[in-house]
A and B are shown apart, each in its own frame.
Chain A
Amino acid sequence: MTEVPKIVPNIVFDRLRAAPPDRAHPEADLLTPFTERTLSGTEREGVIEHLALCGECREVIALALPAADVAALADETAADRATSIPVRDGNGNERTWLTLAWPNLIWTNVWANLVRPRLGGPGLRWAALAAGVVVAASVLLMHPGKLNQVVLPSSNRQVATTSPMEQSASSTKADETQLKPETQLSQQHPPPRLQAGPQTGQIVMPRHQAASTMLLADNKKQSAQAGRPPAGVPTLDISTRGGANETVEVASGTPAVTTESSPQGTLMARSDAPAIEKAKPALQSQDTKASEAQPTSAQASEQQNSGTAVAPGLRLHADVISTAKLAPAASRALAQHNVIWTITGGVLQRSSDSGQSWQDALRPNHPLLCSASRDKDIWTGGQAGTLFHSGNGGVTWVQVRPSIKDQQLSSDITHIDLPDDAHSPDKIVVSTGSSEIWSSADGGTTWEKK
């Protein structure tokens, strides 16, 4: 429950009321994008400045807000938060905390209301406790494997990228590159081992490992049959055709990740984005060999540009935009300086000279509508659920696709809030034009919708 704000001195109350609006009311054409949080920069400030002084326009805004916008927030309670924690049971079905916990709640009530009053002395209580322990132990013995399963958090980063330097390194040392398993589950089913392919700059997944990913696919058989990834699972949906290779184009001029698929049948391979993220430090450690890698990388770029490097088959959306054109020195400088960000005409722009000059930083397919930054973390969102994140001051960008269960964020992202919360420093709250509030406490890995 939100705390009640403190009271302000009476005089503040009076002086706020005493200030009359000094300008004409904004038109509906501006109030609308304001309520939809698509107004940015000077215009938004101007409207807010007016609203701070004009009670009538505040009334209009309050009335013009979609009902769900307020209701969704007002309904938030601690219980709601509890029920929205996504977890998976032993069968891989996503369930909420409350649905898993209800037997405990029932037991607690039964204990408090029925059992405890009837238990006379402490001896009987201990006996009941012992009986409970026996029951719990028997459950564990009957289902030994269930409790050891670790549920992966819902991850929505489809592909993690590497900086140009890292990509160069990965192209030369790709045969040594192995993604480190992160969780117990991923140890049981290690992520695909990436090996250097027949063409330089490509990383090929051998057949046996592609087959191993089938175990995961089998685990999610129903979802695979439905032709879409299971909810909340960080998947690269590599549905292959017979004999085709799957290719992940990371960025223009960067090495592609290719997997050799099983020639027959449908395969849902799974590549957990966190595991790829985990591999980044290992790639970075090979920076010393980056210079050696450059020619190879250049060759790969040439091959890709000429269309020979990309094997036929299903291509995945890279979801990654790397500022590969930036020189490494410029990239470092960009990451170090205080950069100002703004959205202009659907494009994210940055200025490193206090707004004297602006450069385009990100221009995705859909127009961007808002952005927010916190240190080197920059988030920007736009139409059709477009959401990008850079954790290194805009050097590289990763497209994030917030999703819960079967639902993916697809409406316009109109506002991004990075609350200053010491308990969850990576928290991000995303608001949409359709009055949805999506939040993530772990920097976009798992999401909740309110």
Chain B
Amino acid sequence: MALYERSGAAAYGVSAERFAAILDEILRKYLYSSSTQHGSAQHDSVHSPAVSPEYKADFCSALRLEELALARACAAGNERAWQDFISRYRQKLHSMALHITRDGAHAAELADSLFADLYGVTAREGVRKSKLLSYTGRGSLEGWLRTVMAQEFVNRYRKQKRTVSLEEQTEEGIQFAAAAPEPASTSDPRLEAATDEALAELSAEDRLTLASYYLDGRTLAEIAGMLGLHESSVSRRLDRLATGLRKRILAGLRMQGMSHAQAAETLETDVRDIRLNLRSRLTQDSGTNTFPGSSKIPAQDSGDGRTD
């Protein structure tokens, strides 16, 4: 009852019973699900306090209840809720879209499209299906809207990529992301195995850092924002990872029968390749992004001096 009062759901015509049902649905999704879906709290129902009443109460109290009530009331078609939603988020939606697309026309299109999804213009079996129904209050509603919009943008680009011909895109003046460099032809499978092993020993966060920096070309600042770290921490981490990986791969190669000199030579040759690859890749990437208008910043703009 306290949660219901805190949420202000009554103002939007959501009854206490309905709100309790919503919370129950969220609890079932995150606390009782034993699926391997991401984010389903994979707690062991025997040993974990996940399903204790106290845990459930804590989980619910940590939700963004007020925003949850607003979203669900909007999904239910409450007029006052929609008024509040529009006054709070309409302008933000357009700002978000502009931030994502970096283009006024595409931004308006993306924002309007998402707004339609949120309202639920498509009906299934006569029932309007609002996208807001999938908001569960685990993050801010604004952050959720931003994420949903980013997903929509990425999906839309992926679809367009499939349907629009190369000529059409060229006519539109779209620049293409440089083709990812071909994997280096490593004739020695021992190098691959040693590298896989070295990567497997890293934590997921370390691998994410590496992939973001070396594969996606993210700046240190972007990675820091993603992981909630300081930029210098990311830099130190990358430095440590690069050094550690090299040592581990060398050790792995020696374990597989290479002499120290052979292992070092194999790796040195490889490093020379990547320097060439990275230089050419960074050069080609300047001015083009994987997704048009995405926030990927070329190395020379980022100021982090990602050169060798």
Residues of chain B contacted by A18 (CB below 8 angstroms) = 183
Verify A36–B140 contact, CB threshold 8 A: yes
Q: Which residues of B contact A429 (CB under 8 A)?
A: 229-230, 233
CA distance A48 to B149 in the complex (A): 20
Given A2-B231, A344-B49, are A60 and B38 neighbors across the interface (CB < 8 Å)?
Answer: no
The reply on B255 being an interface residue by CB < 8 A is no
Contact check: which of A16, A30, A59 meets B290 at CB < 8 Å?
A59
The reply on A35 being an interface residue by CB < 8 A is: yes
Interface membership of A414, Cβ < 8 A: yes
CA A10 – CA B241 in complex, angstroms?
A: 14
Chain B interfacial residues counted at CB < 8 A: 104
Q: A16-B199, A43-B39, A63-B294 are in contact. Are A32 and B147 (CB under 8 A)?
A: yes
> What bracket does the count of chain A residues touching chain B fall in?
35 or more
CB 8 Å contact bits of A383-421 with B (1 = contact, 0 = none):
000000000000000000000000000000011010110
Q: Does B62 contact A (CB under 8 A)?
A: yes
Q: How far is the CA of A339 from the CA of B42 in the complex (A)?
A: 22
State A5–B234 Cα separation when bound (angstroms).
Answer: 9
B61, B226, B294 pick with most chain A CB within 10 angstroms: B226
- Docked Cα-Cα span, A198 to B99, in Å, equals 64
Of A50-58, A242-250, A271-279, A300-308, the segment with at least 4 beta carbons within 8 Å of chain B is: A50-58
Q: Is the CB of B231 within 8 A of A33?
A: no
A7 interface hit (Cβ, 8 Å): yes
Min CB gap A374→B, angstroms: 13
Residues of chain A within 8 A (CB-CB) of B191 are 11
Binds B, one of A21-29, A94-102, A115-123: A21-29
Known pairs A9-B270, A18-B183. 17 more at Cβ < 8 A? A2-B220, A8-B241, A9-B271, A11-B184, A11-B191, A13-B274, A14-B192, A28-B147, A49-B204, A51-B211, A60-B151, A61-B150, A71-B221, A73-B225, A345-B59, A356-B47, A435-B225
A/B pair count, beta carbons within 8 Å: 290
Q: Is the CB of B49 within 8 A of A358?
A: yes
Do the beta carbons of A9 and B274 come within 8 Å of each other?
yes
B37 touches which of A13, A14, A24 (Cβ 8 Å): A24
The residues of A that contact B273 with a CB separation of less than 8 Å are: 10
Contact pattern, B 208-238, Cβ under 8 Å of A = 1, otherwise 0: 1011111110111110111011111101101
Identify which of B12-20, B76-84, B164-172, B243-251 touches chain A.
B243-251
Is B121 located at the chain interface by the 8 A CB criterion? no
Provide 21 A-B residue pairs closer than 8 Å at the C-beta atoms, listed in order of the A residue: A3-B239, A5-B241, A8-B245, A8-B246, A11-B267, A12-B195, A29-B134, A29-B138, A31-B151, A37-B228, A51-B204, A53-B207, A58-B208, A60-B151, A61-B150, A70-B225, A74-B221, A74-B302, A344-B59, A431-B228, A433-B143
- Decide: B221 and A73 in contact? CB cutoff 8 A: yes
Q: Given that A13-B274, A43-B39, A417-B233 are contacting pairs, would A344 and B195 also be in contact in the complex, using a CB cutoff of 8 Å?
A: no
Across the interface, do A10 and B270 meet the contact criterion of CB distance under 8 Å?
yes
Whether the pair B151, A28 counts as a contact (CB closer than 8 A) is yes
Q: A197 at interface (Cβ–Cβ under 8 A)?
A: no
Assess the A8–B184 pair: CB atoms within 8 A: no
The answer to whether B49 touches A62, judged by C-beta atoms less than 8 angstroms apart, is no
Q: In whole Å, how far is B25's beta carbon from the nearest beta carbon of chain A?
A: 12
CB distance from A441 to the nearest CB of B (A): 12
CB neighbors of A among B256-308 (8 A): 267, 270-271, 273-275, 277-278, 290-291, 294-296, 302-308
Asked if A42 contacts B216 (CB within 8 A), the reply is no
Asked if B216 and A58 make an inter-chain contact with CB atoms under 8 angstroms apart, the answer reads yes
Q: Tell me if A16 and B192 are in contact (CB < 8 A).
A: no
Across-interface contacts of A73 in B (CB, < 8 A)? 220-221, 224-225, 230-231
In the complex, which residues 173-207 of chain A have their Cβ closer than 8 Å to any Cβ of chain B?
none
CB nearest neighbor in B for A355: B47
Give Cα A306 to B242, complex, Å: 63
CB distance from A384 to the nearest CB of B (A): 13
Q: Which of B141-166 contact A (CB under 8 A)?
A: 143-144, 146-151, 153-154, 158
A350-376, CB under 8 A of B: which get 1 and which 0?
A: 000000101000000001010000000
| A13→B180 CA distance, assembly (Å) | 11
Q: Does A152 contact B (CB under 8 A)?
A: no
Contact among B154, B215, B232 with A13 in the assembled complex (CB-CB below 8 Å)? B215
Given contacts A10-B273, A356-B47, A414-B228, contact A16 B238 (CB under 8 A): no
A65 within 8 A of B: yes
Indicate if the CB atoms of B154 and A56 lie closer than 8 Å.
Answer: yes
- Selected contact of B42 from candidates A26, A46, A344, CB within 8 Å: A46
In the complex, what's the smallest C-beta–C-beta distance from A69 to chain B, in angstroms?
4
Let me know if A76 is at the binding interface, CB within 8 A. yes
A29-B135, A48-B205, A63-B295 known; A11 vs B270 contact (CB < 8 Å): yes
- A32 is contacted by which of B139, B195, B226, B305 (Cβ under 8 Å)? B139
Q: Which residue in chain B gives the minimum CB-CB distance to A16? A: B211
A5 and B270 in contact, given A35-B147, A52-B208 (Cβ under 8 angstroms) = no
Partner of A42 from B42, B153, B208, B224 at Cβ < 8 Å: B42
